[in-house]
Structure 1
Amino acid sequence: MVVAYVGLGSNLAAPDVQVERALAALDRLPRTRVVARSHLYRTAPWGYLDQPDFVNAAAALETSLDARGLMQALLGVEQEFGRQRDDVRFGPRVLDLDLLLYADARIDEPGLHVPHPRLHERAFVLVPLAEIAPLLDVPGQGRVDTLLARVDASGCRMLAAV
């Protein structure tokens, strides 16, 4: 078993509900279970700004799936939720699941980049990740809490617990 970290986001069709449903779906993946999860955070859009705010979260998974198998499972969950990968880059989506880290692996293959290549510059990823794993080392980048201190996180607001 290894620990992998996943970032979750949605800004369509009741995004808070979509992220909660996605967390439950992650816990049902084969040979995988959610061992920690963050609160939900409302965040401003990144990249393409003319769209609704996002709801983001992070989860730690224990899994015996290999990195490629886990990535395929995440893509399958996105498809179950109606995600089409031909969406506008950084545009609105019902669900986005990003494999942020897979143990301490560094993987750079077609369709699989771990650690996530932009993890260290995105407050909407770092804020929920820091909630569940502030001392986690991101290979080649540093600790999550240090990375978070380098970005503007003022646009990330924790939602009240449901």
Structure 2
Amino acid sequence: MAVAFLSLGSNMGDSKSLIKNALLDISSLDKVTSLKASSLYCTKPVGYLDQDDFVNVCAIIETTYEKEELLKHFQDLEQKYKRVRLFKDGPRTLDIDILTYDDVISDKKELILPHPRMHERAFVLIPLMEIAPDAVIAKHNQSVSELANKLPYDQIEGVKKINE
């Protein structure tokens, strides 16, 4: 059984519903045995700034899928929610990233693990800190909390929990 950390984001359409439905879809996959999700967060865009704010969430799953199979299922889910990749860091209906898969370190182009920019992104680390603050991220050899505490204050300030 592998443990994977995920990040989901959306800023097109009814983002809250899209994220919640995608989490339900993930939890219903045959080889996913558990899913724990953070609260939803409203976050400022990164990179391309001329777009709506995002809704982000992180999740932890237990799975017997191999990492490549998991990636394929997530790409299929993104297509189900009509993901279109117009340009890097652009708007999207649904983005699902595999942040970690056990302690695997991989530099393969199709799936880099851990996610190459997760340690720089408040919209990942703040939700992840809610559900796995003490998890140590391979390659960085630091916990999620330690990585989050290194982020600039203005980035952390831009991540707001959505009260539902």
When the two structures are superposed, what TM-score results if normalisation uses the length of structure 2?
0.95
Partner in structure 2 of residue 23 of structure 1: 23
- Out of 141, 151, 156, the residue aligned to residue 153 of structure 1 is 156
Contact 1:42-1:55 at 8 Å conserved across structures? yes
Letter paired with 1:159: I
- For 1:102-113, list aligned pairs within 5 A: 102-113=101-112
Runs ≥4 in structure 1, deviation > 6 angstroms?
none
Q: Percent identity?
A: 39
CA distance in 1, matches of 2:161, 2:42: 6
Partner of residue 135, structure 1 = 134
Q: Which residue of 2 aligns with 1:47?
A: 47
The answer for the alignment partner of 2:61 in structure 1 is 61
Q: Deviations over 1:67-125 (max 9, x none)?
A: 111111111110110012x3221010000000000011111112111100000000000
Question: TM-score scaled by structure 1?
Answer: 0.96
Structure 1 unaligned spans of 5+: none
The Cα shift of 1:30 comes to 2.1
5+ residue gaps, structure 2, are none
Asked whether the 8 Å contact 1:26–1:33 carries over to 2, the reply is no
